[in-house]
Amino acid sequence: MEQLTVVKIGGNVIDNSENLHRFLLDFQALPGKKILVHGGGKIATELGTSLGVEAKMVDGRRITDVETLRVVTMVYAGLINKNMVAQLQARGCNAIGLTGADGNIIKAVKRPVKTIDYGFVGDLDENAVAAGTLGSLLQAGLVPVLCAITHNGEGQLLNTNADTIASSVAVAMSSVYQTSLVYCFEKKGVLRDVENEDSLVKEIRASEFEMLQKQGVVSGGMIPKLHNAFEAIKNGLAAVYIGKADELPRISEQDFGTRLTA
């Protein structure tokens, strides 16, 4: 099977133009088929503030009212996505910037209101990703750059977690490609001692995950991240990597951050 790398970046790369520039150079140099997934970052919050749209957070999650949806659509799908595409094109990488609405590649379900009304937020089920359409773009030599906006198939755009998009896309493509998923974040990977970048845990097997939680090595926001990663592996991914964006070139030697395997 041909190889496919799905790389997800977040605010720590996007918010700093020098980091982003360097990352895009490394991304375009990755061998084989690839897909980039990006979140938002500070720019959306800043634009919202300029427009008098306050960021509403509950339990660390953004509440997406109609005004916030306008802002994230403009910033994620417009400003950030198109500038990244233009920069990749300048380096000879034939990028194509997409939301989930484009080509109906990711169809989400508006999150049901339980205790919290998240507003226009989309959740993905196992049939969310149109692997065939994404596959035909890849086969045409295009490099999809996906932002964190999807749709419900009934005309409504939905704000959707970029980590979830990345893992859903990777899992969906794993039936056709040998797919690796790479999460770039601010640390070198999972650290035994969060203050010490030299304490990197190089590999975690699914069977070790529970123990590492008990030991406190994996805690806080890393727990759902790793939980989702192991779910994705169970569903067919070759491997999931979590590490620092500026070490991306090491992925070709499979020596990037923390490697999660079955």
For tokens 């991914």, the residue is: 237
Nearest to residue 176, comparing CAs of 135, 136, 204, 144? 135
Query: Of the listed pieces 100-108, 112-120, 213-221, 252-260, which binds its own copies according to CB under 8 A?
Result: 100-108
Number of residues that make up the chain: 262
- Select from 25, 142, 176, 194 the one that contacts its own copies (CB under 8 A): 142
Measure the CA–CA gap between 106 and 131, rounded to whole angstroms: 9
Options 31, 155, 220, 221; binder of its own copies; rule CB under 8 A: 155
Q: What is the DSSP letter of 94?
A: -
Among 32, 153, 216, 224, binds its own copies (CB under 8 A): 153
Among 28, 45, 68, 81, binds its own copies (CB under 8 A): 81
- As a whole number of Å, the CA-based R_g of the chain is 18
Taking CA 147 as the corner, what is the angle to CA 128 and CA 224, rounded to the nearest 5 degrees? 65
> Could you tell me the smallest distance in angstroms from the CB atom of residue 72 to its own copies?
9
Binder of its own copies out of 15, 25, 67, 103 (CB under 8 A): 103
Pick the stretch among 4-12, 93-101, 167-175, 178-186 that binds its own copies (CB under 8 A).
93-101
Q: Which residues make beta-bridge pairs with 9?
A: 38
Q: At 105, is the secondary structure helix, strand, or coil?
A: coil
Give residues in contact with its own copies (CB under 8 A): 47, 50-51, 70, 73-79, 81-83, 85-87, 89-90, 94-99, 101-104, 133, 136-137, 140, 142, 149, 151, 153-157
